[in-house]
Amino acid sequence: MTRADTVIGAGLTIAFLAMAWASTGLTYGAEFAPGPGFAPFWFGLVGAALSAYVAARGLTSPAAPAGSRSGVLRLATAVGALVLAMAAVPIVGFFVALCAYLLVVTLGIERLRPVIAVASVGGTVLLIYVVFASLLDVPFPKGPLGF
Amino acid sequence: MEVLEQLALGFSIALTPQNVALAFAGVLIGTVIGILPGIGPSAGVALALPVTFGLAPVSALIMLAGIYYGAMYGGSLTSILINTPGESASVMTTLDGYQMALKGRAGAALGIAAIGSFIAGTCGVVALMLAAPPIADIAVLFGPPEYFALALLGLLTLSGLTGSSAAKALLMAVAGLMVATVGLDPIGGQLRFTFNVLELSDGIDFLPVAVGLFGIAEVLANIELPVRLDPIHAKLSGLLPTWQDWLACRLPILRGSVIGFVVGVLPGAGATIASFIAYGVEKKVARDPSRFGQGAIEGVAAPEAANNSATAGAMVPLLTLGIPGSATTAVLLGAFVLYGLRPGPLLLTDHPDVFWGLIASMYVGNVMLLFLNLPGAPLFASLLRLPYSVIATGILGISLAGVYSLQNSMFDVWVAIAFGAIGYLMKRFDYPAAPFVLALVLGPLLETALRQSLTISHGSLAIFAQRPASVVLLAIAALMLLGPAIPALFRRLVSLSRTRKESAT
């Protein structure tokens, strides 16, 4: 346990209580037969109790070790680029977006040599194209380039 | 005799050219996954699942199971050569395996690991073949109360044994159960927590969640803290163990096989715990325990035998009861469901081709792994020279394409990305992912069984106490939940009574 668990536990307590509250809008039960609201209501309450316990334990625990600034920056770039790339899929197509994202990871984040980065991204995308698009006939979203 | 006839049916399925090729592909991919740090068998099976969509169910399951037990073979290579376990079940192999490599005996360590794995893997499949039918015969008599108790037992044992905090593991299991309630109510068909999002009406599929938590999250964690592998210095020669090595290892392999199978059968235990116990037992029975940790070959043979035998053991509750005992078998259960099959007692009678075909393929796969791993060790070792970024591009690309191909929907891709980010946070703050995935898969079964039981009993919980099997299963579940707390509670009571006595005198 670390002090971060207090924040996580408190957030989860609120989320579980909200779910339990939302489940009261569903039928709890009728004539001794539990309804669709029965399980989510109890899961919500048990989850809230466990989260509150974790939050309380976190209060007396040491602080979580901080991540390195460069590591957090790399991570934020990777997640941000992934979200942008997938948001661009309807416009540029799945394979172009995937290719661009993997190049950002290999060249921009991992700082691989350009030859190795292009070769590994090209190989990966080609393999995925052959297996999924050609062999399994998966209809990936296409862009102006036709793939 | 009936078992042999059924096994013959299984071999007639497993030995078709297509299934032999798929078993080979499965064990090869599994070995590679076991070797590469940063990707475990759960992620491997989840990533490979979309690739199998065009195949017959039995063929797909042969390949996916091959990845599962193949990963156990591969994990030993990195443990021995670079002191870094490829997956958690190979942690114990590092203790003596790496010491053997430092003493110039890497070849012997790899050889005994492969041979021990082969013997144990085969023994495990024999035990699975003999144990599964009688258990399935008993399980046919199970009703909703027993299924509820079984699902609860599976969740509680896995939660009790994973991660450093039982409270966090339980919390993740409840979170998984909560997410499993999204979509159509399994009994009445009412929509729950869909927030008018059409894609949520079928619920949150397990595959994008598993790919996100095990695949994408792993890559994100490694992007933040890059994996640095030490260069390999060990010389790979003399892969066949000497006669003395063999004499020293024959009993540890046998004991490891038995321990592995028994521990593997228990829901929630699995290969990692089996290897820990097997190593501990060998150290206890050794004439000179001080050799352990210094390069004792028994310290390689026993845990490797145990982790391979455990994979066959873990198949027993999955195939006969439909209850997965680990993260990887939870993903395998999801694969069964995606193919329209329901593992459990009826699998044997309704789909004997799948059941026996899978078992026969495990014999074939173990032979393949032996021949693949002994001469192939130097080749596999060269994989460790690949930069992690190259592996990461493969994992990310296959993850995204794989989840899209599930329903040809970008919604699943977004779910996988969201769970990738959540999975990263779970890893960062030590919240285990396995109970979450297991709860997501078992959630509908648990809820349906609970509601059916209460409907039968008109709302009375006494139904769970009226049926012997459910009483036994719930008692074990309670023990799993409270077991770790009992010694501390006992000590506290003793010290409290002492204090009272002292204050009275």
* Count of Cβ atoms closer than 10 Å to residue B130 Cβ: 10
Q: Is B389 on the interface with A (CB under 8 A)?
A: yes
Return left, alpha or beta for B183; rule: phi > 0 is left, psi -120 to 50 is alpha, else beta.
left
CB of B416 closer than 8 Å to CB of A147 = no
The residue length of chain A stands at: 147
A–B interface: beta-carbon pairs under 8 A: 169
* Residues of chain A neighbouring B225 (CB-CB closer than 8 A): 67-68, 71
pLDDT at residue B98, rounded to an integer: 85
| Eight-class DSSP state of B385 | G
pLDDT at residue B22, rounded to an integer: 95
Q: Is A80 on the interface with B (CB under 8 A)?
A: no
Q: Beta B191-192 vs A29-30: how paired, if at all?
A: unpaired
Cβ-defined contact of B389 to A105 (cutoff 8 Å): yes
Radius of gyration of chain A (CA): 23
pLDDT at residue B162, rounded to an integer: 61
* Residues of chain B neighbouring A81 (CB-CB closer than 8 A): none
Cβ-defined contact of A71 to B224 (cutoff 8 Å): yes
Neighbour-count burial of B416, counting CB atoms closer than 10 A to its CB (0-12 exposed, 13-18 middle, 19+ buried): buried
CB of B432 closer than 8 Å to CB of B169 = yes
Q: Is A30 helix (H, G, I), strand (E, B) or coil?
A: strand
User: What ipTM is given for this predicted complex?
Assistant: 0.94
* Residues of chain A neighbouring B426 (CB-CB closer than 8 A): none
Of A12, A117, A136, the CB nearest to B171: A12
Give the residue carrying structure tokens 């794995």: B117
Q: Is A88 on the interface with B (CB under 8 A)?
A: no
Print the SS3 string covering B134-158. Answer: HHHHHHCCCCHHHHHHHHHHHHHHH
Q: Which amino acid, one-letter code, is at B147?
A: Y
Encoded tokens for A62: 């040491």
Contacts of B235 (CB under 8 A, 6+ apart): B104, B106, B107
The DSSP element (H or E) to which B184 belongs, if any, is strand B183-184
Show the CA angle centred on residue B178, arms to residues B172 and B179, nearest 5°. Answer: 90
Q: What is the DSSP string of B459-483?
A: T-TTHHHHSHHHHHHHHHHHHHHHT
Can you tell me the distance from the alpha carbon of A102 to that of B155, in angstroms, rounded to the nearest whole number?
37
CB of B353 closer than 8 Å to CB of B16 = no
Can you tell me the distance from the alpha carbon of B390 to that of A75, in angstroms, rounded to the nearest whole number?
17
Cβ-defined contact of A98 to B401 (cutoff 8 Å): yes
pLDDT at residue B154, rounded to an integer: 79
Q: Is B393 on the interface with A (CB under 8 A)?
A: yes
pLDDT at residue B82, rounded to an integer: 76
Please tell me the distance in Å from B498's CA to the nearest CA on chain A: 28
CB of B209 closer than 8 Å to CB of B470 = no
pLDDT at residue B229, rounded to an integer: 59
Show the CA angle centred on residue B156, arms to residues B150 and B157, nearest 5°. Answer: 90
Q: Enumerate residue ranges in chain B where pLDDT < 50.
A: none
Q: What is the model's pTM?
A: 0.84
Cα–Cα separations (whole angstroms), residue B26 to A59, A90, B65, B113, B218: 47, 34, 7, 20, 21
Cβ-defined contact of A75 to B223 (cutoff 8 Å): yes
The DSSP element (H or E) to which B68 belongs, if any, is helix B57-82
Can you tell me the distance from the alpha carbon of B9 to that of B13, in angstroms, rounded to the nearest whole number?
7
Q: Is B390 on the interface with A (CB under 8 A)?
A: yes
Encoded tokens for B104: 């110039």
Cβ-defined contact of B220 to A79 (cutoff 8 Å): yes
Cβ-defined contact of B410 to A74 (cutoff 8 Å): no
What are the average pLDDT values for consecutive 10-residue runs of chain A, which has 147 residues? 90 96 89 86 96 92 80 92 95 94 92 91 92 88 83
pLDDT at residue B255, rounded to an integer: 94
Can you tell me the distance from the alpha carbon of B343 to that of B147, in angstroms, rounded to the nearest whole number?
13
pLDDT at residue B329, rounded to an integer: 86
Contacts of B109 (CB under 8 A, 6+ apart): B80, B96, B97, B100, B101, B297, B300
pLDDT at residue B163, rounded to an integer: 59
Q: Which amino acid, one-letter code, is at B285?
A: V
Give the residue carrying structure tokens 């497993």: B14
Encoded tokens for B308: 């391979």
Q: Is B181 on the interface with A (CB under 8 A)?
A: yes
